[in-house]
Structure 1
Amino acid sequence: MSKLAHLTRSDGGVVLELAAPRANALEPVFLDEIRARLDEIETVSPQTLTIRAGRNFCSGGDVARFAEAVKAGQGRDYARQVVPKLQEIVLRLVALPSVVAVAARGAITGGGAGFLFAADCAVVHPNAFVQPYYAQVGFAPDGGWTALLAERIGAAQALNWIISDRRLEAEKLCDFGLANAVSQEPEQELQKLLQGGNSETFRAAKRLIWDAARLALLERRLAAETGAFLERIDASDTREGMAKFLHP
C-alpha cells in the first residue's frame, strides 16, 4: 500500500486518502502515486470517489523545490515533472464517470485547489480556506485556476480572485458553489450527502454536462496553463517572488 496516496472501499465507492509530506505538497512522486491510484479507480468505475486528507488538504506545489531547480538552471525541467501530471489528474477527475467528492480541512492552496475545482461535490471544515498565491510568487496559474474555475464561477470572478490573491474561507466557498456545506466533521457529512440522492442520476447528469466537446476544451485550456507556467517559471520577477515568499 502506498504511504502517499492509498485507496479503501466504502459503501459502493472508494476513498482516496492523501498523505504526503508538507501538507500534501505536489511533488513528482506524490503526483505519480495519485495517477497510479486513478488507474486502479478507472478499472472498477465506482459509484463515488471521495478524496480526503489530513489537517491540511493540499498546499500546492513546493515553492522551495521550484526555487532550487530554477537556481540550478533546471526550472523548466522540474516544472515538466510536476505541472503536466497535475493537469492530467484534474482532467481525469472531471472525466471520471464516478461522482467525485472532496472532504477538506485547512489549507487548499495553489495547484492543490485543482482537486476541489474538479470535484462534483465537497464538504469543508470551518478552518478550510483556498488561496491562489500566484500573484505573490509569480507563477502562472495551474491546476485549473483558469481552465476550470472560470467554468465553475465565471471568468470575471476567477480572474479577480487570482489577481487579488484573496483567501476565501469555508462559508465563502459555499457561496461560490465550490462547497456544498461546512461541517466540523466533513468526512461524515460528505457521506450523508452522497447517500442522500440517487448516484446514478448524478452520474448521468455529469456525463451530459461533461460531454466530449467540453472535456476537449478543458484539456486544451489545461495544456495552455502548462505552457504559461513553463514560460513564467524562470522569469526574473518569478525568481524574486519565490525568494520573498520563502524568506518574507
Structure 2
Amino acid sequence: MSVVLRERRGSVLLVTMNRPDSLNAFTAEMHRALSDAWLEASSREVRAVVLTGNGRGFCAGADLAQPPLPESLGNSTLRHTFNAHTLAMAALEKPVIAAVNGAAAGAGLSLACAADIRLASSTAKFVPAFVDIGLVPDAGGSWFLARLLGYSRAFGWLASNRRLEAQEALQWGLVTEVLEPEELLTRALLLAEQLAAKPGRAVGLTKRLLSQASRSSLADQLEAEVEMQNLALQDPERALARAAMVERLKQR
C-alpha cells in the first residue's frame, strides 16, 4: 500500500500520510509520494485539500531510524523535500486543512503549520523536537510559528521543546478547533467541502492576499487588493453568485 494515500471526495482531495508504525515519519519514498499529491492538488478540479495522518500520529518529521545523510547532501535534501512541500502548499490557490490526528513533531509540526487551517484531535500533541537533537526549526517552522504565535511565545516554545497538548494549542491559536478523535476527519472534510463550494476564485485569492499581508505596506496591500479583486470579478461564477445574492435579498 502507498505511503501516501489520495482520495477524491467531490472537489476535495483527502491526503493521508500512511506510515502508521513510524508515526508517519518521512522517508524518501514518502517525500516522492507527497510531491505527487501536491501535483494532483493543483488540478482545477480540486478546490480544497485535507491533510492528515494514519494511526496514532500526524507526522513525526524525518525518520531518525534512517541512516543520516552527509551534511552537504542533507542540506540539499532539505531544500528538495520538506521545503518543497511547504512551498507547494503555499502555492496552492485553494485552502489546505490539516486534520492533526496525533503527534506532530519536528518537520511534521512545520508541515501542519504550513496548512491554512489546523483542526486537532483531543489526543493531538505538538512537539518542536529540533533543539533536543541539536537542530534548528526547518521546513518553515520558524516562519510560520513566529507569525502564528508571536516572537516571544514561539521562541520560548521552540527553545524549550515542551510538548503542547491540544487544548493549550487551541488557547494559543495554533489550532482553530479541538474535536474528539472520531469526529476530526468528518469535521475537516465538511469544512473543506464548504470552502470548496464558495464561488469563483474568492477563497484562493484571499489566501494569496493574507500570505503577503505581513510583508506589505498598507499602500502595497491596498494595490494588491485591487489586483485580486479584478481577478475575482473576471471569474464567471462571481456574476452568478452576485445574481443569486440579489435574488435572495429581494425575497427577504
TM over 0.5: yes
User: 1:169 aligned to 2:171?
Assistant: no
Judged with a 3 Å threshold, the aligned counterparts in structure 2 of structure 1 residues 96 and 212 are, in CA distance, closer, same or farther, namely: farther
Q: Tell me the distance in 1 between the aligned counterparts of 2:162 and 2:210.
A: 29
Which TM-score applies when normalising by structure 2?
A: 0.74
Aligned match of 1:107? 103
Q: Tell me the distance in 2 between the aligned counterparts of 1:87 and 1:146.
A: 12
Conserved in 2, the CA contact under 8 Å of 1:128 and 1:170?
A: yes
Q: Tell me the distance in 2 between the aligned counterparts of 1:35 and 1:63.
A: 21
Q: Tell me the distance in 1 between the aligned counterparts of 2:167 and 2:60.
A: 20
User: 1:18 aligned to 2:14?
Assistant: no
Q: Could you give the per-residue CA deviations for residues 12-70 of structure 1, whole angstroms, max 9, x where no partner exists?
A: 211111103511112222111111221122133621100111121101112233xx436
Percent identical residues: 23
**Runs of 5+ unmatched residues, structure 1:** 216-248
Q: Which has the higher contact order (CA 8 A, sep 6+)?
A: 1
Judged with a 3 Å threshold, the aligned counterparts in structure 2 of structure 1 residues 62 and 4 are, in CA distance, closer, same or farther, namely: same
Conserved in 1, the CA contact under 8 Å of 2:102 and 2:123?
A: yes
1:145 alignment partner, one of 129, 141, 145:
141
Q: Tell me the distance in 1 between the aligned counterparts of 2:186 and 2:5.
A: 19
Q: Tell me the distance in 2 between the aligned counterparts of 1:4 and 1:76.
A: 27
* CA displacement at 1:79 relative to structure 2: 4.8
Aligned match of 1:42? 42
Q: Decide which structure has the larger Cα Rg and report it.
A: 2
Q: What is the aligned-residue RMSD (CA, Å)?
A: 2.4
Q: Could you give the per-residue CA deviations for residues 69-111 of structure 1, whole angstroms, max 9, x where no partner exists?
A: 36xxx24424532454101111211221111001121110000
1:128 alignment partner, one of 104, 121, 124:
124
Q: Tell me the distance in 1 between the aligned counterparts of 2:121 and 2:57.
A: 10
Q: Tell me the distance in 1 between the aligned counterparts of 2:167 and 2:104.
A: 14
Give the secondary-structure state (helix, strand or coil) at the position aligned to 1:194. Answer: helix
Conserved in 2, the CA contact under 8 Å of 1:26 and 1:82?
A: no
Range 115-124 or range 201-210, more displaced: 201-210
* CA displacement at 1:212 relative to structure 2: 9.7
Judged with a 3 Å threshold, the aligned counterparts in structure 2 of structure 1 residues 212 and 85 are, in CA distance, closer, same or farther, namely: farther
User: 1:181 aligned to 2:188?
Assistant: no
Conserved in 1, the CA contact under 8 Å of 2:49 and 2:192?
A: no
Q: Tell me the distance in 1 between the aligned counterparts of 2:44 and 2:135.
A: 36
Conserved in 2, the CA contact under 8 Å of 1:83 and 1:142?
A: no
Conserved in 2, the CA contact under 8 Å of 1:31 and 1:82?
A: no
Aligned match of 1:89? 85
Conserved in 1, the CA contact under 8 Å of 2:48 and 2:193?
A: no
**Matching residue's letter, 1:43:** S
* CA displacement at 1:6 relative to structure 2: 2.5
Conserved in 1, the CA contact under 8 Å of 2:12 and 2:192?
A: no
Conserved in 1, the CA contact under 8 Å of 2:6 and 2:37?
A: yes
Judged with a 3 Å threshold, the aligned counterparts in structure 2 of structure 1 residues 183 and 64 are, in CA distance, closer, same or farther, namely: same
Conserved in 2, the CA contact under 8 Å of 1:98 and 1:203?
A: yes
Conserved in 2, the CA contact under 8 Å of 1:130 and 1:168?
A: yes
User: 1:158 aligned to 2:168?
Assistant: no
Aligned match of 1:246? none
* CA displacement at 1:186 relative to structure 2: 0.6
* CA displacement at 1:202 relative to structure 2: 3.2
Range 80-89 or range 190-199, more displaced: 190-199
**Matching residue's letter, 1:175:** Q
**Matching residue's letter, 2:2:** K
**Runs of 5+ unmatched residues, structure 2:** 217-252
Aligned match of 2:249? none
Q: Tell me the distance in 2 between the aligned counterparts of 1:52 and 1:121.
A: 12
**Matching residue's letter, 2:151:** A
Which TM-score applies when normalising by structure 1?
A: 0.76
How is 1:47-66 mapped onto 2 (pairs within 5 angstroms)? 47-54=47-54, 55-65=56-66
Judged with a 3 Å threshold, the aligned counterparts in structure 2 of structure 1 residues 139 and 101 are, in CA distance, closer, same or farther, namely: same
Give the secondary-structure state (helix, strand or coil) at the position aligned to 2:59. Answer: coil
Conserved in 2, the CA contact under 8 Å of 1:121 and 1:178?
A: no
Q: Could you give the per-residue CA deviations for residues 214-242 of structure 1, whole angstroms, max 9, x where no partner exists?
A: 59xxxxxxxxxxxxxxxxxxxxxxxxxxx
* CA displacement at 1:194 relative to structure 2: 3.4
